[in-house]
Chains A and B, each alone.
Chain A
Amino acid sequence: MFFDLSSLQPVTQVFGSLFVLLLVATLVSFMLSRSKPQTDYSELTQRINSWWIMMGVFALSLYMGPMVTILMFAMLSFIALKEYFSMTPTRLVDRRVLFWAYLTIPLQYYFISIGWYGMFIIFIPVYAFLFIPFRMVLAGETKNYLRAVGNIHWGLMLTVFTLSHLAYLVVLPNEAEVKNLMVSGSGAALLLYLVLLTQLNDVSQYVWGKLFGKNKIAPAISPNKTREGLIGGVLTTGLLAMALAETLTPMLWWHGLLVGLGIGMAGFIGDVSLSAIKRDIGIKDCGQLIPGHGGILDRLDSLTFTAPLFFHVIRYCYY
């Protein structure tokens, strides 16, 4: 054979296939807009173009090593938290409290970079969550105090704590166990596995819902979510998780199936819980940062629930 695929590292094999998949999608959308010029495909094209950029950023972090990945996710947390604070109501007296909230990002990611697991896991939900109400008491305003505390805490939870689990995946494996970054069970491989499954779960729930969706699950929160979409999506994700388990992770195939079903469910919950926030505020998207996808939180919503779940299963059972 001209080019031996099996000689590539697992991460490169999987990432390469994604690259080919996106290339095919780009060609198809190009041909669609060529053959039917009267139909508007601009959103599809926008979406695909944004996927190219997201793939590029993700590739950069996968191949540049753990420190670049940690920096990239710190940046992502920052943009997501900024988006969150820009869309939720905040009190003028809490301006400086919000500044402290931003400061948790460098600290949290620093703890990850030195692999201090104990601090990583309690820093936000214990110390930050105690410090922020204390700092707000010093400001002296009690009107809407509880609502403001809840708002800031949930923002930190979603955009800093949960997303930072993605970054911890790359420092999770013991270096003695996994010397090469690109082999199965390495940090890069785990990260690719989780992000790939979560994103494809979103897509497959959408496709199953479009094709067979009838029974709405939570019409008041997200009218497009149907039982058929959820079941089809979760099963698809489970099967894909099973297929990739032994290539990318230390799991057996049937462990992969179970974890995949869990990722499918958690992804759904993450998606609708952000939808509930958006409904509450009265907006459709968190922003326009990623053309065709909305804001950065609209793209990361499912990961906020899948990341901690996957991380703890993997850490508890395998490392």
Chain B
Amino acid sequence: MNMINRALRWFFFAIIIKPIVKLVIGLRYQNKPILPEDGPALIIANHNSHLDTMVLISLLPLKVLHKVQPVAAADYFLKNKFIAWFALNIIGILPIERQSERQTRSPVEQCAEALKKGKILIFFPEGSRGHPETMSELKYGVVKLAEQCPQVPIYPIYMHGLGKSLPKGDALLVPFFCDVVFSEPMHFQPNLFEQVKARFEQMQSSVKLPKWD
């Protein structure tokens, strides 16, 4: 069964998602891509749209697909049986309980464990999807996680345009180019929180494109 899911996952990304991301949406890189070639690695990105995860996974080569795990909210994605199966096996999420009363293990520990297994985690430090093209306040989780795994490189990525293509609460995809900004990998350090914030501000300022009116 596991093999079948793994094959389905491969086909889903190779045949459906990658072509949609590359042809219908279209990616424009601001500078040369800087991406992890193997796990463990932590990719952190801004979050506006369900497309974010799809684009980030499409950026990575298919040969590391089985190591990629987007960190996602358990209460949102495990509500319904089919969505849960799809999220866990095809998208390959690492489900995290957001409400503390339902947590059996701390989310940070769960992520750290996955990194120790050599996974490439996709982590949205803002928590949930915000409004298109505005970054919400960063949460502290990313720092706690980096503290647990100081050896793991952190790859910040900034994406623009996806919140317009598929905003929260809409199901119709309208094509807009997605601008992707890459940045040098970071490691744990005492003032990581400020560093990450500054990095995202810097990446955000390199994209000069319109917001919604």
Sort A-B residue pairs by CB-CB distance and give the 7 closest, nearest first.
A86-B177, A92-B212, A89-B210, A91-B213, A86-B176, A99-B174, A82-B175
Given the complex of chains A and B, what is the CA–CA distance between A161 and B208 in angstroms? 28
Q: Which residue of A79, A96, A283, A289 contacts B208 across the interface (Cβ within 8 Å)?
A: A283
Q: Which residue of B26, B161, B174 contacts A96 across the interface (Cβ within 8 Å)?
A: B174
Given the complex of chains A and B, what is the CA–CA distance between A148 and B132 in angstroms? 19
B29 CB within 8 Å of chain A: yes
Instruction: List 18 contacting pairs A-B, 8 Å CB cutoff, sorted by A.
Output: A78-B175, A79-B26, A82-B26, A82-B175, A82-B177, A86-B177, A86-B209, A87-B210, A92-B132, A92-B167, A98-B174, A102-B175, A144-B213, A148-B213, A282-B208, A283-B208, A288-B29, A288-B30
CB-based contact B174/A102 at 8 Å: yes
In addition to A92-B132, A102-B175, A283-B208, 6 A-B residue pairs with Cβ atoms within 8 Å of each other are: A82-B175, A82-B176, A87-B209, A92-B167, A281-B210, A288-B28
Given the complex of chains A and B, what is the CA–CA distance between A90 and B30 in angstroms? 22
Given the complex of chains A and B, what is the CA–CA distance between A283 and B212 in angstroms? 17
A318 CB within 8 Å of chain B: no
Describe B's contact surface by its main secondary structure. Answer: loop
CB distance from A294 to the nearest CB of B (A): 11
B170 CB within 8 Å of chain A: yes
B172 CB within 8 Å of chain A: yes
CB-based contact A90/B26 at 8 Å: no
CB distance from B145 to the nearest CB of A (A): 33
Residue numbers in A under 8 Å from B213 (CB-CB): 89-92, 144, 148
CB-based contact B170/A287 at 8 Å: no
The closest CB in chain A to the CB of B175 belongs to A82
Q: By CB atoms of chain B within 10 A, which of A82, A88, A96, A144 has the most?
A: A82
- How many residue pairs link A and B with beta carbons under 8 A? The number is 53
A19 CB within 8 Å of chain B: no
Interface string of A287-304 (1 = CB under 8 A from B): 111000000000000000
Interface string of B29-53 (1 = CB under 8 A from A): 1100000000000000000000000
Binding site for B on A (CB under 8 A): 78-79, 82-83, 85-92, 95-96, 98-99, 102, 144, 148, 281-283, 287-289
CB-based contact B177/A95 at 8 Å: no
Q: By CB atoms of chain B within 10 A, which of A90, A98, A283, A289 has the most?
A: A90
Residue numbers in A under 8 Å from B167 (CB-CB): 92, 95
Known A-B contacts A282-B208, A287-B28; A86 and B174 likewise in contact (beta carbons under 8 Å): no
CB distance from A76 to the nearest CB of B (A): 13
Residue numbers in A under 8 Å from B211 (CB-CB): 89
Q: By CB atoms of chain B within 10 A, which of A87, A95, A287 has the most?
A: A95
Given the complex of chains A and B, what is the CA–CA distance between A85 and B176 in angstroms? 7
Given the complex of chains A and B, what is the CA–CA distance between A281 and B213 in angstroms? 13
The closest CB in chain B to the CB of A289 belongs to B28
CB distance from A303 to the nearest CB of B (A): 20
The closest CB in chain B to the CB of A287 belongs to B28
CB distance from A296 to the nearest CB of B (A): 10
Residue numbers in B under 8 Å from A83 (CB-CB): 177
CB distance from B83 to the nearest CB of A (A): 24
Known A-B contacts A91-B213, A92-B212, A148-B213; A86 and B172 likewise in contact (beta carbons under 8 Å): no
Query: In chain B, residues 83-123, which have Cβ atoms closer than 8 Å to a Cβ of chain A?
Result: none
Residue numbers in B under 8 Å from A91 (CB-CB): 212-213
Residue numbers in A under 8 Å from B164 (CB-CB): 90, 95
Given the complex of chains A and B, what is the CA–CA distance between A283 and B208 in angstroms? 8
Interface string of B154-169 (1 = CB under 8 A from A): 0000000100100100
Residue numbers in B under 8 Å from A86 (CB-CB): 161, 176-177, 209
Residue numbers in B under 8 Å from A281 (CB-CB): 210
Given the complex of chains A and B, what is the CA–CA distance between A115 and B30 in angstroms? 41
Given the complex of chains A and B, what is the CA–CA distance between A45 and B212 in angstroms? 37
Known A-B contacts A148-B213, A281-B210; A95 and B172 likewise in contact (beta carbons under 8 Å): yes
Known A-B contacts A86-B209, A283-B208; A95 and B174 likewise in contact (beta carbons under 8 Å): yes
The closest CB in chain B to the CB of A282 belongs to B208
CB-based contact B161/A90 at 8 Å: no
Residue numbers in B under 8 Å from A148 (CB-CB): 213
CB distance from A18 to the nearest CB of B (A): 28
Q: Which residue of A78, A82, A90, A288 contacts B212 across the interface (Cβ within 8 Å)?
A: A90
CB-based contact B176/A96 at 8 Å: no
Given the complex of chains A and B, what is the CA–CA distance between A225 and B45 in angstroms? 42
CB distance from B175 to the nearest CB of A (A): 5
CB distance from A292 to the nearest CB of B (A): 15
The closest CB in chain B to the CB of A85 belongs to B176
Given the complex of chains A and B, what is the CA–CA distance between A142 and B210 in angstroms? 20
CB distance from A127 to the nearest CB of B (A): 21
